[in-house]
Amino acid sequence: MAKSSLLGYPRIGKQRELKRALERYWAGESDEANLLATGRAVREAAWRVQRDAGIDLIPCNDFSFYDHVLDTICLVGLVPERFGPPEPEVSFRTYFAMARGAPGIPALELTKWFDTNYHYLVPEFDAPGPRLASAKPFEEFAEATAFLGRPAKPVLLGPLSLLLLGKRHTRPLVEHLDQLIPIYIEVLERLARAGAEWVQIDEPVLVQDRTEEELQLLRRAYQSLGHASTRPRIMLQTYYGSLDDASWDVVTGLPIEGIGLDFVRDDGNRALLNRHGFPQGKVLGAGVVNGRNVWRTNLVEALEKLEEIAEHVTPDRIWVQPSCTLLHLPHDVRLETSLPEPVRALLAFAEQRLEELVILTRAMNEGRQAILEELERNAEAFRVALDGARLYRRDVRERLAALTEDDFRRSSPYEVREPLQRARFQLPLFPTTTIGSYPQTPDIRQVRARWRAGKLSDEEYWTFIRERIADVIRRQEEIGLDVLVHGEFERPDMVEYFAEQLEGFVLTEHGWVQSYGSRVVRPPIIFGDVARPKPMTVEVSRYAQSLTQKPVKGMLTGPVTILNWSFVREDIPRREVAYQIALALRDEVRDLEAAGISIIQIDEPALREGLPLRRAGWPEYLDWAVRAFRLASSGVRDDTQIHSHMCYSEFNDIIEAIDALDADVISIENSRSHGELLQAFQDYQYPRQIGPGVYDVHSARVPSVEEILQLLEQALQYLRPEQLWVNPDCGLKTRRPEEVWPSLQNMVEAARRLRERYIVTAH
């Protein structure tokens, strides 16, 4: 019989219990025992809902207190020396130091997980070891099995993915791999002795372009794992895309019992299956339900995929599962009582995905006639929703159709704009600024919550916000920043704020998903055509600028980031949705300029994460992503300066696209990468201005003046002095004021010292 299976489940808790427990623990308001108890409660709640829904193969070890890649780093003992001497088992103290940094000790680099909005901590392979240094998989398997009354399915990040997602490979990859393999064999043997029947080993790197050498590493690893003397059966799981012919040949020939494939993201795996068939005796994990988007599954279409798969694989060797872990979905759409019913009827969150999987599995085992009632309800939900939701707007479609090439470019090239802007702003060498947001302290969140609950009037709320803006402008002036920001105190989130004011979006109340650690976001849902009914940021920007003679940046989130950080409609191309958002932002940019805002920042931190996982798709994506930014930004005068910010972005390989944005100034995340990002500018003569981040805003530490100076001097190896801006890595929203102001003071002092040095040299 076919079985239902899950690859992973949301791990922050239905009411964000883990987030709150982590924040209490880090603040010293709770101890390790309380944090462990919360973790156990969150795990048990996840297992309970899966068991009660009727899922056959329930995962364990998919939970994490911060990040599953960090858990794997601990499992194999890849702890860099800067975090202290090796421990028999990695402690919470070391675990969180690697995640968040410690006084004088930078954290591991944080970067995007494939093309999702999740972040992982990057393994460093120059660390001593590796060795088995965590009992987490064994403890959670025992815990899950006892709770469920049957063996759970442990989930591990595979050795090839761990290796290729890492950095600082000090030896040939094969040597690093050969050190990892014995640890993985020991893990498999211990799980088998504990009663594990199956283990899911994730190798998501296989859906990217892989070299022949890397595929030989895969073969080498799984020949060893597959021939381990005692082990559970292995389900090698891929997701976020399809294999190609070369990886298919290798994977299907491995001595393993199952292969998990994504049949949602594209048709690649379907074509491979139809072309090559499937190995006899192996189980196929059929990802036919979308693990990354919130739209209800069309059960007929999913069932047709399964029936096609069953032409190659007998139903008793099919696992019906999501396309990937459900980590990327909110918990339960039934909590969303305020959504418009036509839109709500189209949605399915994690708990609803369980129901869909069970229905589809039943159809595979009992025939389509067994789920006729469910199929009719599913079809009716689509009919009701499509009749009631306002998906299309004629004015938006007509405006898109009327665009010309002139709408996608500034009126003059940078060589003309730059002297006009220099004359207008009169900024010193190495100008200092921040990225946008300032700390959102508990009182700000409380005031916003009271306002939203109707307990504060609009006048009271906006008086409070203006007071905060005035205070942050004053403090920025006091420490000597050159270009100021208004602090974004009115914004709960850089995407949500705009989604709330744009037509075509809806917001959830409880639709939280994990970004990393305790950082959770509530992605908006784009269900229809996007339009801006009125200005969104002009009033606060105008007020902030009225308080100072220094320029205050207007702050907008870019079209590609709004797109990539939302759950996006699937009935029209993403390019078209991006252009709709860009047109709304273009109107906002023009209104800001008319209100006297002379520097406008359009943040695109998510530009790179939208890249297709295979390079063949890059040119098309980068073409429309760049054009969307230019459509939003190019309607201004030559002496208006356009900034953009990109965080967590490795962009050495897309530097030409960054250049094509034609932003006057870009700021980039840099401090955690130890200057690696700047190497992009070694061979590429980037013509405009750049602010490489000089301190890590994700770590709870104050960088010294010398540390910042060192990063600036490093940047000057690649950039001309007149190109260099001085700024943090990212926004300061999640940091505490007592960390922020000393850090910025040191940043300004570092810029001052560097300026003095260059002025003396010039004379």
Number of domains the chain is built from: 2
Are 371 and 511 part of one and the same domain? no
Task: Provide the pairing of β-strand 641-646 with 599-603.
Answer: parallel
CB atoms within 10 A of CB 177: 20
Half-sphere exposure of 579 (CA within 13 A, CB side): 20
Are 159 and 268 part of one and the same domain? yes
- The string of pLDDT tens digits covering residues 124-136 is 999 887 999 999 9
> How many Å apart are CA 407 and CA 685, to the nearest integer?
26
> How many Å apart are CA 275 and CA 269, to the nearest integer?
10
Return the bridge partners of 726, or none.
432
Q: Is residue 579 part of a domain?
A: yes
Are 356 and 489 part of one and the same domain? no
Q: Is residue 83 part of a domain?
A: no
* Secondary structure (DSSP) of 482-526: SSB--B-TT-SSTTHHHHTTSEEEE--SS--EEEETTEEE---EE
Chosen domain end from 329, 359, 388 = 388
Instruction: Report the pLDDT value the prediction gives residue 734, as an integer from 0 to 100.
Output: 78
- The string of pLDDT tens digits covering residues 658-705 is 999 999 999 988 766 666 677 778 888 899 999 998 887 777 788 999
> How many Å apart are CA 443 and CA 451, to the nearest integer?
12
Are 363 and 325 part of one and the same domain? yes
Handedness of CA 334, 336, 340, 345 (dihedral sign): negative
Handedness of CA 341, 347, 351, 356 (dihedral sign): positive
Give the annotated binding-site residues for Zn(2+).
Answer: 645, 647, 669, 730
Contact 291, 332 (CB under 8 A): no
Token pair, residue 203, equals 């190798």
* 638: amino acid identity, one letter: D
Token pair, residue 657, equals 């696209």
CATH number at residue 9: 3.20.20.210
> How many Å apart are CA 522 and CA 512, to the nearest integer?
5
Please report which confidence band the pLDDT of residue 223 belongs to, taking 50, 70 and 90 as the band edges: very high
45 has a pLDDT exceeding 50: yes
Contact 299, 288 (CB under 8 A): no
Among the listed residues 74, 98, 99, 97, the one whose alpha carbon sits nearest the alpha carbon of residue 87? 74
Are 593 and 716 part of one and the same domain? yes
CB atoms within 10 A of CB 645: 28
| Residues 475-500, mean pLDDT to the nearest whole number | 95
Among the listed residues 379, 363, 249, the one whose alpha carbon sits nearest the alpha carbon of residue 310? 363
Are 217 and 200 part of one and the same domain? yes
**Sheet strands (E) in 571-612:** 599-603
Rg of the chain in Å (alpha carbons): 26
Least confidently predicted of 26-40, 374-388, 627-641: 374-388
Give the annotated binding-site residues for L-homocysteine.
Answer: 435-437, 488, 603
Among the listed residues 337, 366, 644, the one whose alpha carbon sits nearest the alpha carbon of residue 511? 337
650 has a pLDDT exceeding 70: no
* Phi, psi at 712, each rounded to 5°: -65, -40
Angle, CA 637 vertex, CA 636 and CA 642 arms, to 5°: 60
Are 580 and 442 part of one and the same domain? yes
Q: Is residue 363 part of a domain?
A: yes
**Which domain covers residue 355, as residue numbers?**
3-78+124-388
Please provide the average confidence, as pLDDT, over all residues in the chain.
Answer: 95
* Secondary structure (DSSP) of 4-25: EB-S----S-TT-HHHHHHHHH
Among the listed residues 596, 600, 592, the one whose alpha carbon sits nearest the alpha carbon of residue 664? 600
Token pair, residue 589, equals 């940019």
Instruction: Report the pLDDT value the prediction gives residue 762, as an integer from 0 to 100.
Output: 47
Contacts of 360 (CB under 8 A, 6+ apart): 4, 288, 289, 299, 302, 303, 306, 320, 371
| Residues 114-124, mean pLDDT to the nearest whole number | 94
> How many Å apart are CA 316 and CA 3, to the nearest integer?
8
* Phi, psi at 514, each rounded to 5°: -80, 135
Q: 241: left (phi > 0), else alpha (psi -120 to 50), else beta?
A: left
- The string of pLDDT tens digits covering residues 421-463 is 999 999 999 999 999 988 888 999 999 999 999 999 999 999 9
> How many Å apart are CA 604 and CA 436, to the nearest integer?
13
- The string of pLDDT tens digits covering residues 544-589 is 999 999 999 999 999 999 999 999 999 899 999 999 999 999 999 9
Q: 760: left (phi > 0), else alpha (psi -120 to 50), else beta?
A: alpha
Are 308 and 416 part of one and the same domain? no
Q: Is residue 631 part of a domain?
A: yes
| Residues 113-130, mean pLDDT to the nearest whole number | 92
> How many Å apart are CA 688 and CA 664, to the nearest integer?
6
Percent of the chain at pLDDT exceeding 70: 98
- The string of pLDDT tens digits covering residues 306-360 is 999 999 999 999 999 999 999 999 999 999 999 998 899 899 999 999 999 999 9
**Sheet strands (E) in 348-493:** none
Contact 668, 680 (CB under 8 A): no
Look-up of token digits 């890059």: 618
Are 492 and 363 part of one and the same domain? no
Torsion of CA 710, 715, 717, 720, to 10 degrees: -130
**171 against 676, higher pLDDT:** 171
> How many Å apart are CA 185 and CA 158, to the nearest integer?
12
Residues belonging to the active site? 698
Instruction: Report the pLDDT value the prediction gives residue 381, as an integer from 0 to 100.
Output: 85
Are 401 and 363 part of one and the same domain? no
Give the annotated binding-site residues for 5-methyltetrahydropteroyltri-L-glutamate.
Answer: 16-19, 112, 117, 565, 609
Chosen domain end from 388, 423, 452 = 388
Give the annotated binding-site residues.
Answer: 16-19, 112, 117, 435-437, 488, 565, 603, 609, 645, 647, 669, 730
Least confidently predicted of 264-278, 687-701, 735-749: 687-701
| Residues 77-86, mean pLDDT to the nearest whole number | 95
Task: Provide the pairing of β-strand 110-112 with 119-121.
Answer: antiparallel
Q: Is residue 92 part of a domain?
A: no
* Secondary structure (DSSP) of 416-454: HHHHHHHHHH-PPSS-B---SB----HHHHHHHHHHHTT
> How many Å apart are CA 382 and CA 408, to the nearest integer?
37
Instruction: Report the pLDDT value the prediction gives residue 426, as an integer from 0 to 100.
Output: 97
Contact 330, 510 (CB under 8 A): yes
Q: Is residue 431 part of a domain?
A: yes
CB atoms within 10 A of CB 210: 21
Chosen domain end from 355, 388, 421 = 388
Distances (CA, A) of 130 to 175, 178, 190, 217, 531: 12, 10, 18, 18, 53
Q: Give the N- to C-terminal CA distance of the chain in Å, as an integer.
A: 82
> How many Å apart are CA 96 and CA 100, to the nearest integer?
6
The three-class DSSP label of residue 533 is coil
Q: Is residue 108 part of a domain?
A: no
Are 345 and 446 part of one and the same domain? no
Are 286 and 403 part of one and the same domain? no
| Residues 181-199, mean pLDDT to the nearest whole number | 98
Give the annotated binding-site residues for L-methionine.
Answer: 435-437, 488, 603
| Residues 406-421, mean pLDDT to the nearest whole number | 98
| Residues 608-628, mean pLDDT to the nearest whole number | 96
> How many Å apart are CA 607 and CA 629, to the nearest integer?
10
Q: Is residue 113 part of a domain?
A: no
Task: Provide the pairing of β-strand 554-557 with 525-531.
Answer: unpaired
